[in-house]
C-alpha cells in the first residue's frame, strides 16, 4: 500500500517541480495518462491524505466547485504567474484544464471567483521607460503593424528528422495571430505564412522582423534581397528590421511566443508533424476567438481585428510559389550607433553621424531612386547612394 502511495506522490511532485513532458513522468513510473491526471487533479496541499483512496460511498459531487477543483485552479494560476509573459487569466486557466484532460471545464465566472477568493489577483507591475529616442510606430487600428518571428528549432522526438520551427505572426493592435509549423526556416516557409496570414487578416502597412538571414537574403550579396523582402515590396508593405540582439523590440510577438511555448507546445505530446500542424490550428483559433486583452476592452483578438475594413490579399495569389518580380518600394532597419556613430546592415557599415553615439537611428532604402536615408528624431541626417540588385 505504501509503495502505491509513494508512486502517486512522486508523480505529482515531479510535475509541480516543473518536469516536462508529463508523458515521461508517468511512463517512467509505469503508469498511464488517465492515472497521472487523476492524481494530479486530486492533489491538494491542504489535505495531508490527498494521495489515499477514498471510500466509494463518499464520491465527490461534481456539480459544484469542490475543494479539489479549487486547489487545481489555484495551482495553475500560481504556475502561470511565475511564467514570464504568460497570460494568467481565467481563459488561460481553462486552456490548462483542457490540456490536463478535465472533462467538465468550469465557466469563466467560477474561475474568477476562485481567484478572487484566494487573493490571487495581483496589481500589474509598472516599468520605467527608457530615455533613448526610438523610432517606433504608433498603432491605433488593426493592420498597421504586424510582427513576425521564427522560433525553434523544437523537437517532436530525438534526431534531426523530428526537428521543426514555428513561424508566428501577430497584429500589434488586435493581437490576432497566424501560426505555421515548418520543417525549416528558409524564406519559402516564411512567405507561405505571410501569404496565408494576409489572405485572412489583411495586408499591413508595416511588417517588423528580426535579423534572421532567411528574412533578408544573402550576406554574400548584401544588396540582393530574398523572397520575404521582395514579397513585401510587391505588396507595398514596408519591412522593418529591428536592432540586432534586441528581441524585446518585438515585444508583442515575443510575449505570444512564450504563451505558445508554455500553453501549447510543452503542454501536450504530438504524434508527428501532421498532428502538430493540426493542433496548432486549434490553438490559433482558441487564442483568436477566446483570449481577452485589457487593451481591447473585453473584445477577443478576432472581434477587434474585424471591426474595421481591411485590404485582404486575394486567395488566388500564388506568386510566392513561382517567382516574385522586383517592385520598387521601401526597406527599413533600426540600429544603435556605435562609438564612432556607425551602423551595420547586412554586411555593410555606414557612418551616420560622429556626434550620434549610442543612439537609435532608422535607415530606409528607397529602391526607385537608389538612396539610403538615415533618420534621427524623424529628421534626415545622412543620405547615401544605394543601388540594389533587381533580380
pLDDT in tens, 266-315: 778 888 999 999 999 999 999 999 888 888 988 899 999 999 999 999 99
Mean pLDDT throughout 42-54? 78
pLDDT in tens, 237-272: 999 999 998 999 999 999 999 888 877 887 788 889
Of 36-40, 101-105, 115-119, 275-279, give the range with the top mean pLDDT. 275-279
- pTM of the full structure: 0.70
Domain boundaries of the chain, sorted by first residue:
2-117, 130-391
Mean pLDDT throughout 89-101? 79
Which residues does residue 182 pair with via DSSP β-bridges, in sequence order?
165
* Statement: residue 59 has pLDDT above 90: no
Residue 108 near residue 94, CB atoms below 8 Å: yes
Higher pLDDT, 188 or 293: 188
Residue 127's pLDDT band (cuts 50, 70, 90): very low
CB within 8 Å of 271: residues ≥ 6 apart: none
Residue 280 near residue 288, CB atoms below 8 Å: no
From the list 38, 101, 97, the residue with the least C-alpha distance to 70 is: 97
* Statement: residue 193 has pLDDT above 60: yes
Residue 128's pLDDT band (cuts 50, 70, 90): very low
Higher pLDDT, 105 or 326: 326
Cell numbers at 324, concatenated: 516574385
Give the least confident one: 53-57, 97-101, 332-336: 53-57
Residue 69 near residue 60, CB atoms below 8 Å: no
Looking at residue 358, what is its pLDDT?
Answer: 93
Looking at residue 297, what is its pLDDT?
Answer: 83
* Statement: residue 137 has pLDDT above 90: yes
* Statement: residue 61 has pLDDT above 60: no
In this structure, whether the domain defined by 130-391 belongs to CATH 3.30.420.10 is answered with: yes
* Statement: residue 98 has pLDDT above 90: no
Amino acid at each position: 500500500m505504501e509503495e502505491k502511495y509513494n508512486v502517486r506522490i512522486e508523480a505529482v511532485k515531479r510535475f509541480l517541480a516543473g518536469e516536462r513532458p508529463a508523458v515521461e513522468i508517468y511512463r517512467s513510473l509505469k503508469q498511464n495518462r488517465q492515472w497521472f491526471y487523476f492524481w494530479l487533479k486530486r492533489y491538494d496541499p491542504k489535505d495531508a491524505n490527498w494521495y489515499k483512496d477514498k471510500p466509494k460511498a463518499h464520491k465527490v459531487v461534481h456539480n459544484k466547485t469542490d475543494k479539489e477543483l479549487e486547489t487545481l485552479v489555484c495551482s495553475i494560476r500560481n504556475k502561470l504567474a511565475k511564467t514570464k509573459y504568460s497570460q494568467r487569466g481565467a481563459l488561460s486557466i481553462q486552456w490548462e484544464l483542457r490540456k490536463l484532460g478535465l472533462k467538465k471545464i468550469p465557466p469563466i465566472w467560477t474561475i474568477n471567483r476562485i481567484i478572487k477568493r484566494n487573493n490571487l489577483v495581483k496589481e500589474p507591475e509598472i516599468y520605467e521607460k527608457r530615455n533613448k529616442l526610438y523610432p517606433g510606430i504608433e498603432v491605433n487600428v488593426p493592420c498597421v503593424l504586424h510582427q513576425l518571428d521564427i522560433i525553434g528549432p523544437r523537437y517532436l522526438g530525438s534526431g534531426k528528422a523530428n526537428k521543426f520551427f514555428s513561424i508566428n505572426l501577430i497584429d500589434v493592435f488586435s493581437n490576432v495571430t497566424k501560426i505555421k509549423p515548418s520543417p525549416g526556416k528558409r524564406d519559402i516557409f516564411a512567405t507561405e505564412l505571410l501569404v496565408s496570414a494576409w489572405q485572412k487578416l489583411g495586408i499591413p502597412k508595416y511588417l517588423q522582423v528580426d535579423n534572421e538571414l532567411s528574412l533578408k537574403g544573402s550576406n554574400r550579396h548584401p544588396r540582393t534581397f530574398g523572397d520575404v523582402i521582395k514579397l513585401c515590396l510587391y505588396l507595398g508593405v514596408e519591412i522593418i528590421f529591428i536592432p540586432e540582439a534586441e528581441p524585446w523590440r518585438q515585444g508583442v510577438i515575443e510575449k505570444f511566443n512564450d504563451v505558445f511555448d508554455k500553453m501549447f507546445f510543452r503542454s501536450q505530446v504530438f504524434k508527428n508533424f501532421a498532428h502538430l500542424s493540426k493542433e496548432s490550428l486549434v490553438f490559433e483559433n482558441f487564442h483568436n476567438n477566446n483570449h481577452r486583452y485589457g487593451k481591447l476592452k473585453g473584445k477577443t483578438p478576432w472581434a477587434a481585428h474585424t471591426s474595421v475594413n481591411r485590404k485582404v490579399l486575394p486567395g488566388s495569389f500564388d506568386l510566392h510559389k513561382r517567382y516574385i518580380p522586383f517592385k520598387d518600394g521601401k526597406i527599413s532597419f533600426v540600429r544603435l550607433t556605435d562609438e564612432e556613430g556607425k551602423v551595420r546592415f547586412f554586411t555593410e557599415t555606414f557612418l551616420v553621424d560622429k556626434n550620434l553615439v549610442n543612439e537609435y537611428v532608422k535607415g530606409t532604402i528607397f529602391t526607385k531612386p537608389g538612396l539610403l536615408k538615415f533618420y534621427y528624431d524623424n529628421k534626415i541626417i545622412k543620405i547615401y547612394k544605394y543601388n540594389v540588385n533587381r533580380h
